[in-house]
Amino acid sequence: MQFVLGILLIAQLSLPPGAPLPQVLTASFKPAAIVKAGQKTDIVVTYTALKGYVIDRQPQTPLTLKLTEVPGLKLDKTEIVAPKDDPKSKDEYYVDLPKVRVTVTAAKAGKYEIPGKLIYFFCNKSDGFCAKQTTDVKIPLQVQ
């Protein structure tokens, strides 16, 4: 038990006081097809983790994308939880980060930006430090 506490203390001391944690996970967004006004479209969301970090697929805080409605856009869901299944994983961490889909319908043509939060639980493979992290995201959308 003292060993684990020591590791956690060292992990906290490795960052300067008040220094933010690095953004461990980033999301990329790509429409599945040309986005046309009045039609439902899926935006494929893929994730990339920083080298040396893993994303926990079994935490109390699952990998979640929480989106905010934007005037002119209708989202099928404002909260999308990534699937926990990963056939390659032998432990609680993703080997292949999941892809999720955001289904959206635009009322009219134009440029939109859907704000949201990406919430996940990560661990550093080298020192065992783990933490929940929330980062801001913006999904750009060009509608014809």
User: In this structure, are strands 53-55 and 110-124 parallel, antiparallel, or unpaired?
Assistant: antiparallel
Q: How confident is the model at residue 19 (pLDDT cuts 50, 70, 90)?
A: low
* Model pTM above 0.85: no
What is the amino acid identity at position 69?
E
Confidence of residue 128 (pLDDT cuts 50, 70, 90): confident
Q: Supply the pLDDT for residue 7.
A: 40
- The residue ranges of every structural domain in the chain are 23-143
**pLDDT 10s digits, 96-108:** 999 999 999 999 9
The CA-atom distances, in angstroms, between 131 and each of 21, 44, 58, 76, 88 are 9, 26, 13, 30, 23
C-alpha distance from residue 142 to each of 90, 112, 125, 139 (Å): 40, 6, 38, 10
CATH number of 23-143: 2.60.40.10
Residues 43-55 have a mean pLDDT of: 95
Report the percentage of the chain scoring pLDDT > 70.
87
Stated as kind and residue range, the H or E segment containing 132 is strand 130-143
